[in-house]
Structure 1
Amino acid sequence: MTDDALTAIINLDLPGATISRHVYGHFAEHLGRCIYGGFWVGEDSEIPNEGGIRLDVVEALKALSIPNLRWPGGCFADDYHWRDGIGPREDRPRMVNSHWGDVVEDNSFGTHEFMQLCEMLGADPYVNGNVGSGTVQEMSEWVEYLTRGDESPMATLRRANGRDEPWRVPFFGIGNEAWGCGGNMTADSYAALARQYGTYVRNHGDNVVYKIAAGANVDDYRWTETLMKELNCLGCTRQPAGFFQGLSLHYYTHSGAWETKGSATDFDTDDYYATMRNARRIEELVAGHAAVMDCYDPQRRVGLVVDEWGTWFDVEPGTNPGFLYQQNTLRDALVASVHFDVFHAFADRISMANIAQTVNVLQAMVLTDPDTGALVLTPSYHVFAMNVGHHDASTLAVSLKGELPTREVAGGELSLVSASASTTDTSALVSLSNLDAGHARTIVLDLRGRDVTEFSARVLTAPTLQTHNTPQAPDAVAPAAHDGVRAHARGLEVDLPAHSYVTVSLALA
C-alpha cells in the first residue's frame, strides 16, 4: 500500500459533538398503508397484535432502538382535529383524507392508540399539531390532554377516555410545511403564528416540550432566517426566545425532476448516479441552513430538525398513486448511509431527523404484504440497524487523504466515498460507503490516539443496485459479516465492494 492510497485519518482521542439518537427518528403519517395495514390492523385481525397494533412491526422497530416517532403528519397534521380521534372508536366522526388518496378516514387510530404504540416501541412521541386549519385553543388543549396530571378539564377528559396518568411528550411540532400544504403561508405570516401558537404549547407538570417550528423547504434560506429573527438578533449570544427550540427542514431525494421522479426498481446506472448526487446535496442544504442559524444563534442552542427526508420515487405500478408505496433497493440504503454521514458531521446543530416514512410509504423501514400479511425488512432498515452504535456517541472527524474517487454527474462532481465515525468510552464505529456502481476499492483507516484491541465489520451489498427484498426473497439484501478487514501499519485496511455500505466496530483500550 503506497502513501497515495485512499486513507481515512481518525483521531480516536479527539471526540466532538454528541450524535443525538434522535437523528435516527421515524415518521408515521395517515398516508396509504403506513397506519392502517402497517402499524394498525385492529383487534380482530388474525395478524398477531396487541390492542390492534401489529406486533411484528413493533418488534422489528424495537430492534433498531427507535428513538422517536413523528405523527400524525405531514400534510395530514394540518387537517387533523385531535378530538375526532378520542373516545369509543364506534363514536368517532369520519373525515376525508384529501391529501393522500382522497379516502375516508374513520379515526380508529388516534391519540390513545399512538401513545400506546410509542410505549410499546419504547420511543419518544413527536406529535405534530394543526396550525393550517386548527386553532390556538385546539393545540393548547391537546398538549394539556396529553401531559397534564391534575384535575384540569383536559386531564379529566383523558381519564374519562381510559388513561389515568399523563403521558410524556417531549417533542411537539407547530404545524407542518406552512409554506405549502400546511396553509400556503409566507415566511412572515407563519413566523407570527409560530410565536403565537408556541406560546400556548405549555409545559405541564414535569413534562418539558421541545417545540419545533415548521421550517424551510429545500433551499429556502430566507424562511430559516425569518424564523431565526423571531428568536434572536443578528450576532446575539443571549439565550434565544422560547417560542420554539427547533425548526424543521424537508428534503427528498429522487433521480429525475419532481414531476417525473423515476422508478424505485427499474433504473439504470445513470439514474443511480443522478440519485446519489441529489442525495449528497443534503450536505449543501444543511450547511446553508446551519450558516443562517449561526448568525442568530452562534451558541447553537436552536436545533435543526430534518423531520422529512428520504427517497421519493414513482409509486409501484398498480397501487393507489395517493398512497406513495414504493419498493426499496440497495440504492435506497446508500441514500440513507450518506445522509447519516452528513447528520453526524453537523451533530452540533442537528437535533433530530425523521426518515419518511416508517411502514409502506416512501423510503420505508418495513413493508407489509396486504395479501399474505408477510413482513419484509428493507435495505434501508439494515442501515439503521448497522448504525445503532452511533446513537448518543461522540463524533470523530474523518479526514480523507489521497486520490478521492469522483464521477462527473450532470455537470457536477460526485464523491464516490463517504465516511463518518463516532466513539464512546470503550468503542468506536466507522461507517464507510462506496458509491461506485462497478468498482471495489480499498481504504486505510489511519487510527490515532488510542489503541484498538479488537475489530469486526459488517457489509451491506447485493448483486445489483436494483436488488430488493420481497416476501419470496426477504434476505436478498441483508448485512453479513465482512472479512475484508486486515491489520495495517497505520491501523486497518478495509475492502469496500462496489455499491456497498460497511461498518467497522472497534474496541478501544
Structure 2
Amino acid sequence: MNLHKKLLIKCRYYAKIGTYGKMCRKQALHKTSRKEKAMSIKMYVNGSDRKGHINPEIYGHFSEHLGRCIYNGIYVGEDSNIPNTKGIRNDIVEAFKNIKMPVLRWPGGCFADEYHWKDGIGEKSQRKKMINTHWGGVTEDNSFGTHEFFDFCEMVGCEPYLSGNLGSGTVREMSEWIEYITSDNDSPMTQLRKKNGREKPWKLKYLGVGNESWGCGGNMSPEQYSALYKQYQTYCRNYGTNQLYKVACGPNGDDYNWTKVITENITPWHTNAVSLHYYTVPTGKWEDKGNATGFTDEEYYITLEKTWYMETLVKRHCDILNVNNPENNIKLVVDEWGTWYNVEEGTNPGFLFQQNTMRDAMVASINLNIFNSHCDRISMANLAQAVNVLQALILTEGEKMILTPTYHVFDLYKNHQNAELCYSSIEDEKQEGYNLPVISQSVSVNSDNEMTLTVSNCSLTECRTIEADIRGFSFDSVRARILSAESNAHNTFDEPENVTITEFDKITKIDSGITFTLPPCSVVEIILS
C-alpha cells in the first residue's frame, strides 16, 4: 500500500474524532510526502522560574498614512454608509478590542517626518491639504488628525504612540504638540485644544522622536541624530501628571554601529528606549520581494528562515545595550516588523497592499515568541500595519471586512499580555536544509494563575508530537485553540473564514505534564489552570 493511501485511511479515522482529523485529512490530500508517524519532541517548562514581565505593548500595532490604512480603512468619514462612530469604522474597533490591542503607533513611518500636526486640527473643511510624497503621491485632506486618532484609541482602549516630526519639523512644533495634547494649564495650546472641542487633556505615554532618521527621516548619521534627539526631547515636557516614555530612533536591521553610537551619546536621562526596524523580505531584494500568495515550499521556508533572523538582531542589539546600559533602563522597541512582499497585481504600488496567508501567521507566531523571550529588554513591538497595508490584521473592501491569519495569531497570543514569562525550552531540531527551528514556543503565567503555552510547527509535511514536562505549576483543566491550514491558504471577501481558529482537544494530561500533536503549518494556544 503506498504512503498516500495509508494516510487517507489513517485520516478517515481521525475524521471521526473532530477538527484535528479534518486538518490531517486535508493535509494528506495535498501533501503526499508527509511521514506517517509524527515525530516526537521533548519540551521543558518550569512555572516557578520567572524570566520577566511581558508588557502588553509587545502586542502593539502600527497605523501610517499609507495606502488604505487610515482613509478607506480605519476612517471612512461621518457621512459613510458603513457603520461608524465619528467616522471610524465600528467593526474595526470591535476587532481590535477583541485582541486587546494595547498600543497603536501613528502617523508614521516615513509619513511622520513630513506631517505637520496643526494642519490636522480644527474644522475639517478648513484643514490644509497635503501631498503624501512617500506613499503614492496622493493628496490628503487631513480629515484624520490628532483628535480623530485619540478618539480611535479611546474607542479601542489602547495607548496612543505618537511619532514626532524631527525630519522636517521644528523643536517648537513638536513641543507645542505635546502641550496641546497633555497640558491642562492656561496656555495658547490648551485654549486651542478647547476651541477645537476637547476640554480635558488626553493622556500620552509613548513618544517617538523622529522615525528612521538614518533613511527617509533625514538620512542622518548616528552622531547627527543623537545631537538633534537630545535637543528635541528637551522641549517635550511632562505636563501635570502626564509622563512621557520617549523612544529614540534606533537601527535599521543589523546596523549595530547605530545602536552603539546613540547609546554612547544618549543616556537614560534623555530616553526610555531605542527602536529597531526589521522586515521579512523573502528574496532579500527590494525591487522584487516575492509574492504574498502562490509561493513554493522553498519560498515558505526561506521566509521563515529570514524571520528567525530577528532572534539574532534582538540578541546582538541587546548585547550592545547591556554594555552601554547595564542598568537595563533603556529598553528596545521593535516598532516596525512584519512581512513585505510585492503588492497585489492591479493595486497602486505606493499603497503596499498585500494578501495575508498562513505563512504570515507563522511569521507572526515566531516573532511574538521571540519578543516574549526577550521581554526583559523589549518593552514594545508594533506590527506593520494594522489595516490594508503590508502584514495587515484586517483587510477591507467597501463595507466588507476580513480578519487575516495574522489577526488570528494575535487572538491566540493575547493571554500572554501582562503575564510573567516562564522558563521553557525545546529539543533543538532544525528544518532540513534551513537554519530554521521546526518548533517555536513561549510560556507564561498570568495573574489569574493560568499558564499559557503558544507553540507553532513550521514543517509543511510532518506532524510533531510535543511531550511537555511541566514543573513548578499545578493544573486541573486544559483548554486549547488552534490555527492550521495549507501554507498558501488565506481569507478572501468571498471566503472570509477559509482560515480561522478552531477548538483543539487532542491534548492528553500525563504525570509529567501534557502531550499533544501539532499538524503541519499550525499555531496552538494551550491554557492550563
How far apart are residue 406 of structure 1 and its match? 2.7
How far apart are residue 53 of structure 1 and its match? 0.7
Q: Aligned-pair RMSD on alpha carbons? A: 1.1
Contact 2:75 2:87 in 1 (8 A): yes
- Equivalence for 2:48: 13
1:140-155 equivalence runs, <5 A: 140-155=175-190
Tell me, in whole angstroms, the C-alpha distance in 2 between the residues paired with 1:143 and 1:449.
46
Normalised to the residue count of structure 2, the TM-score between the two structures is 0.91
Tell me, in whole angstroms, the C-alpha distance in 1 between the residues paired with 2:137 and 2:503.
46
- Equivalence for 1:237: none
- Whichever residue aligns with residue 419 of structure 1, its letter is Q
Secondary structure of the residue aligned to 1:418 is strand
- Equivalence for 1:236: none
Tell me, in whole angstroms, the C-alpha distance in 2 between the residues paired with 1:406 and 1:110.
47
1:31-46 equivalence runs, <5 A: 31-46=66-81
- Equivalence for 2:257: 222
Tell me, in whole angstroms, the C-alpha distance in 2 between the residues paired with 1:359 and 1:311.
14
Matched, 1:488 2:524: no
- Equivalence for 1:505: 527
More deviation, 443-452/482-491: 482-491
Tell me, in whole angstroms, the C-alpha distance in 1 between the residues paired with 2:148 and 2:507.
46
Matched, 1:250 2:285: no
- Whichever residue aligns with residue 407 of structure 1, its letter is E
Secondary structure of the residue aligned to 1:14 is strand
- Equivalence for 1:406: 431
Secondary structure of the residue aligned to 2:476 is strand
- Choose which of 464, 467, 473 in structure 2 pairs with 1:444: 467
How far apart are residue 290 of structure 1 and its match? 0.4
- Whichever residue aligns with residue 376 of structure 1, its letter is I
Matched, 1:68 2:93: no
Secondary structure of the residue aligned to 2:334 is strand
Secondary structure of the residue aligned to 2:508 is strand
Matched, 1:375 2:401: yes
* Large movers: runs of 4+ above 4 Å: none
1:334-483 equivalence runs, <5 A: 334-370=362-398, 373-401=399-427, 404-409=429-434, 413-425=435-447, 426-462=449-485, 464-483=486-505
Contact 1:407 1:415 in 2 (8 A): no
Contact 1:407 1:416 in 2 (8 A): no
How far apart are residue 126 of structure 1 and its match? 0.3
Secondary structure of the residue aligned to 2:426 is strand
How far apart are residue 255 of structure 1 and its match? 1.2
Tell me, in whole angstroms, the C-alpha distance in 2 between the residues paired with 1:49 and 1:301.
41
- Whichever residue aligns with residue 472 of structure 2, its letter is G
Tell me, in whole angstroms, the C-alpha distance in 1 between the residues paired with 2:87 and 2:259.
40
State how many pairs are aligned. 489
Tell me, in whole angstroms, the C-alpha distance in 2 between the residues paired with 1:106 and 1:19.
39
Tell me, in whole angstroms, the C-alpha distance in 2 between the residues paired with 1:168 and 1:259.
41
Point out where structure 2 has 5 or more consecutive residues left out of the alignment.
1-38
- Equivalence for 2:7: none
Q: Deviations over 1:240-274 (max 9, x none)?
A: 32x11111000001211222110001100000000
Q: Identity of counterpart residues, as a percentage?
A: 48
How far apart are residue 405 of structure 1 and its match? 4.2
Normalised to the residue count of structure 1, the TM-score between the two structures is 0.95
Point out where structure 1 has 5 or more consecutive residues left out of the alignment.
233-239
Tell me, in whole angstroms, the C-alpha distance in 1 between the residues paired with 2:516 and 2:135.
45
Secondary structure of the residue aligned to 1:182 is coil
1:16-415 equivalence runs, <5 A: 16-232=51-267, 240-241=268-269, 243-257=270-284, 258-370=286-398, 373-401=399-427, 404-409=429-434, 413-415=435-437
Q: Deviations over 1:74-122 (max 9, x none)?
A: 0000000000000101101111100000111110100111111111111
Tell me, in whole angstroms, the C-alpha distance in 2 between the residues paired with 1:48 and 1:217.
39
Tell me, in whole angstroms, the C-alpha distance in 2 between the residues paired with 1:293 and 1:341.
21
Q: Deviations over 1:152-198 (max 9, x none)?
A: 11111101111110000000110100000000111110011111111
Q: Deviations over 1:305-325 (max 9, x none)?
A: 000000111000000000000
Tell me, in whole angstroms, the C-alpha distance in 2 between the residues paired with 1:129 and 1:344.
27
Tell me, in whole angstroms, the C-alpha distance in 2 between the residues paired with 1:313 and 1:407.
25
How far apart are residue 439 of structure 1 and its match? 0.9
